[in-house]
Amino acid sequence: MALDFGGKKIGVAITDQLGLTAQCRPTLIRSNDQEDILKIQQLAEENDVAEVVVGHPLHMDGTASRQSKKTEGFARKLRTVLSVPVKLWDERLTSFAAEQHLEQLGLDWRARRKHVDEMAAVLILEDYLGGSL
């Protein structure tokens, strides 16, 4: 499972058991870390997730950003609750690529805004799986 962790929403994508496809799941609207983690735990259990990959939003030069530090903290909390490995994965330009992809599909800005987090999670998962999807 891949997560695109943001201040207001969390994009979610899950792969099949063979790791061949990445499918988006409905975006989670953030409430607080504890409730968000419980929702993720439930999704992980329902989908028999073997590991969780959290997009790590670094600056283009590879240094930590304010959001990447928040993401690291959230990933630490996930590790204390989930019984599967939780890994950070470099997601530089993922949201931009997701926005571009959705625009190419012909979605207007409202539809793109609605789906960009889940598409970013799909791209993170595809990249983590080796781009073989």
Complete domains list, the chain, with CATH: 2-128 (3.30.420.140)
Residues 6 or more apart from 44 whose CB is under 8 A from it? Answer: 1, 52, 82, 84
pLDDT of residue 84: 96
CA distances from 38 to 30, 35, 80, 100, 104 (A): 11, 5, 12, 31, 35
pTM for the model stands at: 0.85
Query: 100 or 48: whose pLDDT is higher?
Result: 48
Query: 133 or 55: whose pLDDT is higher?
Result: 55
Please say if the pLDDT value at position 56 is more than 60: yes
Q: What gap in Å lies between CA 55 and CA 36, rounded to an integer?
A: 16
Strands 2-5 and 52-56: parallel
Average pLDDT across the chain, whole number: 87
First to last CA, the chain: 15
Residues 6 or more apart from 87 whose CB is under 8 A from it? Answer: 51, 52, 53, 54, 75, 128
